[in-house]
Amino acid sequence: MRGRCLPAALVVALHAAVNGGGIARADDGWPVPSPEWLDRPAGGGLAILPLVTWWLLVLCWTASSDWVTRDASKRNIQPNLWGAVVAFPFFLTALVAWLVPSAIIGQVLMGLGWLVPLFVYAGRRNAKLKESEKILTVGHARRALAGVLGRFGIHMEVGDEPADALPAITLLPVGGKDEAENKARSEAAAATPGIEETKKILQQAVAARASTLLLEWGPSVVNLRNEVDGVWMPQRVFKSKGGRKTGEVWADAPPLERPVADAIAVTLKTLTGHEPKERRGQLSGTFAVQSDGKPRNCRLTVRSAPGGEQMLVQIESPALLFKGYDDLGVPKPIAERLRELLALEKGVLLVSSPRGNGLSTTFDVVVLACDRLLRDFISIEDAAAPPREIQNVKPVRYDARSGTTPVAALETAMREYPRGIVTRDLTDKDLAVKLLELADDSQMVIISLRANDAVDAVARLVAAGVPADLLARTLIGSLSQRLVRKLCPKCREQFVPQPDLLAKLKKTPEELPFLKKPSEHGCRLCGGSAYFGRTAIFELASGPTLRQAVAKKVDAATLRRAAEKDGLQPMRDEGLRLVLENVTGLEELQRVFAAKS
């Protein structure tokens, strides 16, 4: 009985501790919260409920302030100013809310201190953006609600802008001697009749994520093509919204009429500081396109062509940061094997791909994976086309224009006693032989070259005249890659694979009920191309069987069989894995492997 009375005694003790003012008792004897838990005392402190609300407002303000600072920096809208604008009003109202006697007034002041600067920034930000990028609007609320409902499988149309809406851009002259010349170019270009059409084709190129825009003059029309994800295609334009099952319909843009294209040519030449009527030889110049608050440098090249002229506009792509093998998509077994090979004291590692397949990026990542702090690395480079610098790798350049050969540059570099040597796009036989001799002695050598696959890279060195026995002794591995386009995640279509395809993939209908393929028309996300972005597929040839085959000077087919005995997984198998995972399509694999270096 004494045990059953203990809780009641505790209640009495607690009641006494608060002098009867903090706890009230209900008719049934249970303690209930006093109104003072919700109301503020005369001293200005915070009761429990207002305290919780106060901290929730602080958390919301912290998150929104951080977002405003990052967004203003991204869009170049005075980030320091707007960071202060959204920070200080709330800070002051939060102090006031802590001190004023009325909890309601304090919470209202905090809400105003948080929301008013946020709406002011939204008004400044939204003025130059398309409807789908604006915030704190009715359309923004609809998009947010659609996102929430989408998690529960409920589709909601947002419809806040037409499907063919293009990003707002500004043309900026940047190639002048000074600001005055750039301003003069800008004013002259703005006065040309083709300024709006020039903006339109550049808007379409930017929206399609094109790296290059090409205009080709013909007898009566001018064709437009974009290079998107490494593939040339006509510019795509929106045709119709379609239905839920068919989706949007995009088609090839019609050619430009000659007068329209001629007006565009005048605008681009004026923007880059050239005379519009100048047609002899090759012209080049630079300008910039500002989109989404960030300028992107462009290079214009004009050259004569049978039909008239050919204009090439190279558009700088947003920088992508690749720090390691995971960023490149290198499979874990290959990444682990590369780390083992690069930890060796000496040997030759070949890195290859066909042209336009991301060789420079992968080569840089491989070199970055080396221990460049304990081993001094040098890079033998062509002075006429210097590559990107790599930290802790000293460049040593040769120059055919001054008579400095690659071997001479290497001999100069060896006076500093390096332990690692790298060189890109190897084509010089004498340099190749010298590098292999150094690798046979004490050097780690990493070479990039153009080849169709890992075995082809080895075969090309032998065919170039490199001693087969020397290559066999020094070769530690040959890494090769190709880039494949990824299916657009929004418009890719599902299909049931036929029995013959299942047989080739060695799958049953139960194991593989469906696959994905590119859309026939595309969508707004991919700009009508049906693909969005690229990834790489790799293969690594390395092992004693391959080296023995190299020493015997066997043909390429025998070399490949030897590499497969050492564990080589062909790139085609890696590509099929991406097909089975619905990352890419069979059509894309066929296109990629039909291309040769």
User: Rounded to an integer, what distance in angstroms lies between the CA atom of residue 213 and that of residue 233?
Assistant: 10
Binning pLDDT at 50, 70 and 90, where does residue 391 land?
A: confident
Q: Is the pLDDT of residue 152 over 90?
A: no
* pLDDT value for 132: 65
Q: What is the pTM of this model?
A: 0.72
Q: What is the pLDDT of residues 184-202, one digit of tens each?
A: 999 999 999 999 999 999 9
Average pLDDT over residues 444-455: 96
Two tokens, residue 91:
């800070």
Of 194, 184, 322, the closest CA to residue 263 belongs to 194
Q: How far is CA 163 from CA 233, 239, 530, 552, in A?
A: 20, 9, 15, 61
* pLDDT value for 234: 93
Q: What is the pLDDT of residues 303-326, one digit of tens each?
A: 887 777 899 999 998 767 788 899
- Range from 25-29, 215-219, 297-301 that averages highest in pLDDT: 297-301
Q: Is the pLDDT of residue 505 over 50?
A: yes
Q: What are phi and psi of 133, to 5 degrees?
A: -105, -5
Q: Is the pLDDT of residue 140 over 90?
A: no
Q: Is the pLDDT of residue 22 over 50?
A: no
User: Rounded to an integer, what distance in angstroms lies between the CA atom of residue 298 and that of residue 185?
Assistant: 15
Domains in the chain, start-ordered, CATH in brackets? 2-28 (no CATH), 48-150 (no CATH), 169-315 (3.30.450.90), 325-594 (3.40.50.300)
Q: Is the pLDDT of residue 28 over 80?
A: no
Q: What is the pLDDT of residues 275-287, one digit of tens each?
A: 888 766 788 999 9
Which H/E stretch holds residue 423?
Answer: strand 420-423
* pLDDT value for 155: 55
* pLDDT value for 226: 95
Q: What is the pLDDT of residues 68-116, one digit of tens each?
A: 888 877 777 787 888 888 888 887 887 887 777 777 887 788 888 888 8
* pLDDT value for 420: 95
Give the mean pLDDT of the chain: 84
Q: What is the pLDDT of residues 519-552, one digit of tens each?
A: 988 888 898 899 999 999 999 999 999 999 999 9
* pLDDT value for 139: 75
Binning pLDDT at 50, 70 and 90, where does residue 49 land?
A: confident
Q: How far is CA 99 from CA 38, 45, 472, in A?
A: 16, 7, 81
* pLDDT value for 287: 94
* pLDDT value for 23: 43
Q: Is the pLDDT of residue 117 over 70?
A: yes
Average pLDDT over residues 477-502: 94
**Dihedral of CA 443/447/453/459: which sign?**
negative
